[in-house]
Chains A and B, each alone.
Chain A
Amino acid sequence: MVEITRLPEEARFSFRVAAGGVAAASKAFGVDLPTTIGGMAANGSRRALCLGPDEWQLDAAASERDAVVAAFAGIYADTPHSLVEVTDREFTYQISGEQAEELLTVGVPRDMALVTVGSGTRTLFDTVPAILVREADNRFTLSVWRSFAPHAEELLHIANKEFAAGL
């Protein structure tokens, strides 16, 4: 059996900046933004996940939301960028347990061996655009936009029941 829980929302931002602005952005956020796609770096409750050549997902505790916005506003004049809060856009599910990886293969087309511990990626979960992060060997988080969440969640539970029934 795999445990599927929806995590409480904190603060999440979609961040984009050109290569020349990565250093300034890292300083503003307090985390060295990883520049390898899939790379992830954290400092306290703040975490940066590199999704594309110029795109990151930034996570922080809800209490730090305003501080993050203010820090980036402070560098905007010298480092043009886009910072959009997307906290409300998606639900994040934690999927953990011995068969967590196998459960995700129900919907993820990507070879799960490519999703190494401490890395994340945008991909699909049964036609639903999703961001998948491997937190530990048997623990993942899957973020999907809320309008797709009922489908994704239902599919996870159906597959989990099949696992429990030994199918």
Chain B
Amino acid sequence: MLLIHCPYCDKELPELEFAYAGEAHIARPVDPSALSDDEWRDFLFIRSNPRGTHFERWRHIHGCGRFFNAARDTVTDKFLTTYPAGEARPDISKLTGSKA
């Protein structure tokens, strides 16, 4: 079982307590009616789906209840870091120790 560090509880807790909630750092457009259909489609459905480091949202639903963000490697399934929602995306090169 994966252990996930909840930045609010500050503990390594079992994956079972958490729910995955899609890619992180996707802001809803401020004025949707100003967007073209293609731009709106991109916002709704188009995700980066990378091979490697992925920034994603998780929710500690069976715990403190909070949403937070994580950087996870989609190849190894290893969590590089987790951080509270609202914080800026961390520097990948610092997380992986190599240039991204």
The interface of chain A, by Cβ under 8 A from chain B, is 37-38, 51-53, 55, 109-111, 114, 121-124, 129
State whether the Cβ of B22 lies closer than 8 Å to any Cβ in chain A.
Answer: no
Q: How far does the Cβ of B82 sit from chain A's closest Cβ, in whole Å?
A: 15
Do B17 and A124 touch across chains, with their CB atoms under 8 A apart?
Answer: yes
Set A52, A109, A114, A129: member contacting B64, Cβ < 8 A:
A52
Do A55 and B65 touch across chains, with their CB atoms under 8 A apart?
Answer: yes
Q: How far does the Cβ of B20 sit from chain A's closest Cβ, in whole Å?
A: 16
State whether the Cβ of B16 lies closer than 8 Å to any Cβ in chain A.
Answer: yes
Do A52 and B66 touch across chains, with their CB atoms under 8 A apart?
Answer: yes
Complex Cα distance, B13 from A71, in Å, reads 36
> Which residues, 1 to 44 on B, are CB-close (under 8 Å) to A?
1, 8-14, 16-17
Complex Cα distance, B28 from A165, in Å, reads 58
Majority secondary structure, B binding face: loop
Contact residues in A for B12 (Cβ distance below 8 Å): 111
Do B16 and A114 touch across chains, with their CB atoms under 8 A apart?
Answer: no
Q: Beyond the given A109-B17, A114-B13, A129-B62, could you list 16 further A-B residue pairs with CB under 8 A, ordered by the A residue number?
A: A37-B8, A37-B10, A51-B64, A52-B66, A53-B64, A53-B66, A109-B14, A109-B16, A110-B14, A110-B17, A121-B9, A121-B63, A122-B62, A122-B63, A122-B64, A124-B16
Do B1 and A109 touch across chains, with their CB atoms under 8 A apart?
Answer: yes
Residue of B nearest to A114 (CB): B11
Q: How far does the Cβ of A66 sit from chain B's closest Cβ, in whole Å?
A: 28
Residue of A nearest to B60 (CB): A52
Contact residues in B for A51 (Cβ distance below 8 Å): 64-65
Set B1, B9, B14, B62: member contacting A37, Cβ < 8 A:
B9
Contact residues in B for A38 (Cβ distance below 8 Å): 9
In the complex, 6 of the A-B residue pairs with CB atoms within 8 angstroms, ordered by the A residue number, are A51-B64, A51-B65, A55-B65, A110-B17, A123-B63, A124-B16
